[in-house]
């Protein structure tokens, strides 16, 4: 099965979304949810209205959609779920530094991005192992 990679980025006034591995698939909105829905709407229009030779090959047949976030967009999107204090415990990165990343004041280098990603993956693995009785 093919994977359609959608990148979501925060700009000054909106969230934009675009396909990293297919041309002509764009969306946007005031929130991440709106940007995701805009992408789904764009895909629907492309697959229903375009001629078959104009449809990107990845949209022909079965495909998965995977969303990729830049650090600023991710931290902004999940700000209501993860406080900077919680993220500090999960990632080992100072709260002030996390705030700089989420506000766009600073951009994390690759090692910091890896710390954030690894910490979130560890949390996800722990949560998946939970069984309530």
CATH number of the domain to which 35 belongs: 3.30.2390.10
Instruction: Measure the CA–CA gap between 121 and 127, rounded to whole angstroms.
Output: 10
3-class SS of residue 28: strand
Kindly give the confidence (pLDDT) of every residue in the chain, 133 residues in length, as a single tens digit, with 9 standing for 90 and above: 899 999 999 888 899 999 999 999 999 999 999 999 999 999 999 999 999 889 999 999 899 999 999 899 899 888 889 999 999 999 999 999 999 999 889 999 999 999 999 999 999 999 999 999 9
In a domain, residue 110? The reply is yes
What total number of domains does the chain contain?
Answer: 2
Pairing of strands 2-10, 63-69: parallel
- pTM of the full structure: 0.78
The structure tokens listed for 71 are 């650090």
Q: What integer pLDDT is reported at residue 24 of this predicted model?
A: 92
Query: Where in the sequence is the domain holding 19, given as residue range(s)?
Result: 2-69
In a domain, residue 13? The reply is yes
The alpha helices in 92-132, defined as continuous H runs, are 95-103, 110-128
Q: What integer pLDDT is reported at residue 133 of this predicted model?
A: 92
In a domain, residue 133? The reply is no
Q: What integer pLDDT is reported at residue 37 of this predicted model?
A: 98
Instruction: Measure the CA–CA gap between 79 and 133, rounded to whole angstroms.
Output: 30
Asked if residue 61 and residue 108 are part of one domain, the reply reads no
């Amino acid at each position: 099965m093919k994977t359609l990679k959608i990148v979501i980025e925060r700009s000054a006034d909106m969230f934009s979304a675009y396909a990293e591995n297919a041309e002509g698939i764009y969306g946007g909105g005031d929130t991440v949810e709106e940007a995701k829905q805009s992408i789904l709407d764009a895909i629907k229009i492309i697959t229903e209205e375009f001629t078959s030779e104009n449809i990107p090959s990845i949209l022909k047949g079965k495909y998965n959609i995977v969303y990729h976030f830049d650090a600023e967009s991710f931290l902004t999107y999940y700000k209501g779920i993860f406080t900077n204090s919680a993220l500090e415990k999960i990632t080992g990165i100072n709260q002030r530094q996390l705030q700089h990343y989420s506000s766009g004041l600073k951009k994390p280098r690759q090692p910091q991005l890896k710390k954030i990603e690894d910490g979130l993956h560890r949390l996800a693995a722990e949560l998946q192992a939970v069984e309530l009785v």
